[in-house]
Amino acid sequence: AQRVTQPEKLLSVFKGAPVELKCNYSYSGSPELFWYVQYSRQRLQLLLRHISRESIKGFTADLNKGETSFHLKKPFAQEEDSAMYYCALSEGGSQGNLIFGKGTKLSVKP
Amino acid sequence: GAGVSQSPSNKVTEKGKDVELRCDPISGHTALYWYRQRLGQGLEFLIYFQGNSAPDKSGLPSDRFSAERTGESVSTLTIQRTQQEDSAVYLCASSLSRDEKLFFGSGTQLSVL
């Protein structure tokens, strides 16, 4: 069965330090992977998706099919990056639902 | 429209009562999702509507849960005979189509006493 695992519930780093939020998935086909973010008192929103291969707010994520991972990275964390981050997987094809991991709370300290 | 709208924002009910949660998606969005988020947990998929196709109900936890959607507009999630374990934030999201990004509502906080 398809599954998304985010091993860290909480990740705390200092401002300016590199950050990596881990995401591993279990799926036999060709998945689409996403990162969603929820800032304090705001709605959950899309941060980036792997097919776009873009950098948003300095974050990037590379799909590694061999390791079945889609880790989110930023070289220099900022305080405003503090938020809940959710990795999500879409099966593709005719299936519709998006499967989310349990989320990682990122705290960037000054 | 401003975005995905959910009502009520908060609902407190007694165990055994039925509740209805409403979601107004962004106009023109054919796909609509319901998720549940229990305290300290991730998002749990409940149900997905895509246009006029049969909904994907595979995430509904029991037959006490049901949802309807009228065409490509409003959706209601109904929980019958609520239990304390139903307490959670219920999130609705919509997208232009299945492969497009999801826009989330602000959720309904359901508390079952």
State how far residue B88 is from chain A, nearest Cα, in angstroms. 14
Domain boundaries, chain B: 5-112
Q: How many inter-chain contacts (A to B, CB under 8 Å) are there? A: 48
Mean pLDDT of A67-77: 95
Choose the closest CB to A99 out of B45, B102, B106: B45
Of B67 and A62, which is predicted with more confidence? B67
Is the model's pLDDT at A8 over the cut of 80? yes
Mean pLDDT of A49-71: 88
Quick count: other Cβ atoms within 10 Å of Cβ B65? Answer: 18
pLDDT winner (highest mean) among A38-42, A94-98, B87-91: B87-91
> Do residues A54 and A48 make contact, with C-beta atoms less than 8 angstroms apart?
yes
At A88, give phi and psi (nearest 5°): -140, 155
Q: Decide if B42 and A101 are in contact by the 8 Å CB cutoff.
A: yes
Read off the pLDDT band of A94 (50, 70, 90). Answer: very low
Of B77 and A65, which is predicted with more confidence? B77
- Among B19, B32, B24, B27, which residue's Cα sits nearest to residue B6? B24
CA A44, chain centre distance (Å)? 12
Identify all chain A residues contacting B104, using CB atoms and an 8 Å cutoff. 43-45
Whether CATH 2.60.40.10 fits B5-112: yes
> Do residues A32 and A90 make contact, with C-beta atoms less than 8 angstroms apart?
yes
Per the document, the length of chain B is 113
Average pLDDT along chain A: 89
Domain boundaries, chain A: 3-109
How many CA atoms within 13 Å lie on the side-chain side of B62?
A: 8
Written as one string, the DSSP assignment of A45-79 is EEEEEGGG---BTTBEE--BTTTTB--EEESS--G
Of A64 and B21, which is predicted with more confidence? B21
Is the model's pLDDT at A93 over the cut of 60? no
Which of A43, A86, A87 has the most B C-beta neighbours within 10 Å, making it the best mutation to test the interface with B? A43
pLDDT given for residue B81 in this prediction: 97
pLDDT given for residue B98 in this prediction: 72
Q: What CATH number does the domain located at A3-109 have?
A: 2.60.40.10
Q: Decide if B33 and A97 are in contact by the 8 Å CB cutoff.
A: yes
State how far residue B35 is from chain A, nearest Cα, in angstroms. 10
Q: Percentage of chain A with pLDDT > 70?
A: 95
At A62, give phi and psi (nearest 5°): -115, 135
pLDDT given for residue A53 in this prediction: 75
d(CA B7, CA B77): 11
Question: One digit per residue, pLDDT tens: chain B, 113 residues?
Answer: 579 999 999 999 999 999 999 999 999 999 999 999 998 788 888 999 988 888 989 899 999 999 999 888 899 999 999 999 999 999 999 988 777 788 999 999 999 99
d(CA A91, CA A13): 33
pLDDT given for residue A95 in this prediction: 45
SS3 label, residue A42: coil
pLDDT given for residue B86 in this prediction: 97
d(CA B34, CA B58): 12
Mean pLDDT of A96-104: 83
State how far residue B100 is from chain A, nearest Cα, in angstroms. 10
β pairing state of A3-5 and A24-26: antiparallel
pLDDT given for residue B1 in this prediction: 55
